[in-house]
Amino acid sequence: NRTPILLEGLPIASQRINALMPVLRERWEASPTLNHKLFQVDFLTTLAGDAMITMCYHRPLDDAWLAEAEALAKELDVSLIGRSRGQRLVIGHDYVTEKLDVAGRTFSYRQPEGAFTQPNGTVNGKMLNWAFDALGERQDDLLELYCGNGNFTLPLATRVRKVLATEISKTSVNAALSNLDDNGVDNVTLVRLSAEELTEALNEVRPFRRLQGIDLKSYDFGSVFVDPPRAGMDPDTCELTRRFERILYISCNPETLAANIAQLHDTHRVERCALFDQFPYTHHMESGVLLVRR
């Protein structure tokens, strides 16, 4: 059933989003320019209250739209982005900056429009601290798959000698590079490869141009960190993780996490686990597991 359902608010979203929603709706309903062929609105906010709104249209955006949008962005104190096919107009910034404390250090995260970010800032901070503690202080290297914008990369890099991190999304890679630079983290090499491609590279199945100049054999990997999409790790990537003494796994889907753990059961055991309620009042749950070699 694709019948739209009218919501007057979204209690599980941030207070800032809930404050912006009715005001924004009132403004666009009063403006033919802002309202015409508007079909979607996206919100992204930080714990400090910074906000970015993306308004998506089935029409080209003109100077009249830009003038009204600039006034609206100023009134609401937000960055505002207008999107239509082949067009993207940015008023302010095309990102928000989140700040999270991990083990007494504050990390700054640039979260760009359209890229994946953890949906719950408070719970994300708890996840980061749990992963930081679970990894422990190490004298070897870390392999990270699905690194996104560097959410876990930044704090975990301070626990190891060096990190090789991979991510397939170009937007997320660019954000991660900015975040590494902004936070002064200089022991991370970031490569735009999928987990499947990196598996092929480590297995010497075929060379990759993006790995030129990177000596994979120079790494002494003791741990691997994975934060895969809902589908979990594919069989080849899951098999790859067997090589490592420690597997630190963050999952947004307990079912695929359980399936991957079952695949690893003969070589690794669960030493620590945690649940994180990223989505209050829903059945969705984030999980964290540390597996160590038997």
Residue 148, SS3 per DSSP: coil
Question: Does 12 have pLDDT greater than 90?
Answer: no
pLDDT in tens, 119-170: 899 999 999 999 999 999 999 999 999 999 999 999 999 999 999 999 999 9
In terms of domains, do 77 and 218 share one?
no
**Residue 137 is assigned to a structural domain of this protein:** yes
DSSP count for the chain of H helices, then E strands: 9, 13
The pLDDT of residue 204 is 87
In terms of domains, do 184 and 246 share one?
yes
In terms of domains, do 43 and 163 share one?
no
In terms of domains, do 25 and 135 share one?
no
CA 169/CA 183 separation, integer angstroms: 21
- Residue 163 identity (one-letter amino acid): V
**Global pTM?**
0.92
**Residue 6 is assigned to a structural domain of this protein:** no
The pLDDT of residue 147 is 96
pLDDT in tens, 174-220: 999 999 999 999 999 999 999 889 989 988 888 899 999 999 999 99
The pLDDT of residue 259 is 96
CATH code where residue 37 lies: 2.40.50.1070
CA 249/CA 247 separation, integer angstroms: 6
CA 72/CA 65 separation, integer angstroms: 10
The pLDDT of residue 49 is 94
DSSP letter (8 states) at residue 263: H
pLDDT in tens, 70-80: 999 999 999 99
Question: Does 53 have pLDDT greater than 90?
Answer: yes
The parent domain of residue 62 ranges over 15-93
The tally of domains found in the chain comes to 2
In terms of domains, do 254 and 122 share one?
yes
The pLDDT of residue 77 is 98
In terms of domains, do 86 and 203 share one?
no
Which residues belong to the active site? 252
The pLDDT of residue 262 is 97
In terms of domains, do 174 and 289 share one?
yes
**Residue 233 is assigned to a structural domain of this protein:** yes
In terms of domains, do 286 and 142 share one?
yes
Task: Say if residue 266 carries a ligand binding annotation.
Answer: no
Task: Say if residue 109 carries a ligand binding annotation.
Answer: no
**Residue 133 is assigned to a structural domain of this protein:** yes
Task: Say if residue 118 carries a ligand binding annotation.
Answer: yes
**Residue 54 is assigned to a structural domain of this protein:** yes
CATH code where residue 216 lies: 3.40.50.150
In terms of domains, do 68 and 204 share one?
no
- Residue 39 identity (one-letter amino acid): F
In terms of domains, do 119 and 76 share one?
no
Structure confidence at residue 2 as a pLDDT band (50, 70, 90): confident
Average confidence score pLDDT of the chain: 95
In terms of domains, do 140 and 83 share one?
no
Structure confidence at residue 91 as a pLDDT band (50, 70, 90): very high
DSSP letter (8 states) at residue 13: S
Task: Say if residue 167 carries a ligand binding annotation.
Answer: yes
Structure confidence at residue 282 as a pLDDT band (50, 70, 90): confident
In terms of domains, do 54 and 123 share one?
no
**Residue 241 is assigned to a structural domain of this protein:** yes
Edge-to-edge strands of the sheet including 87-91? 38-45, 51-57, 79-84, 87-91
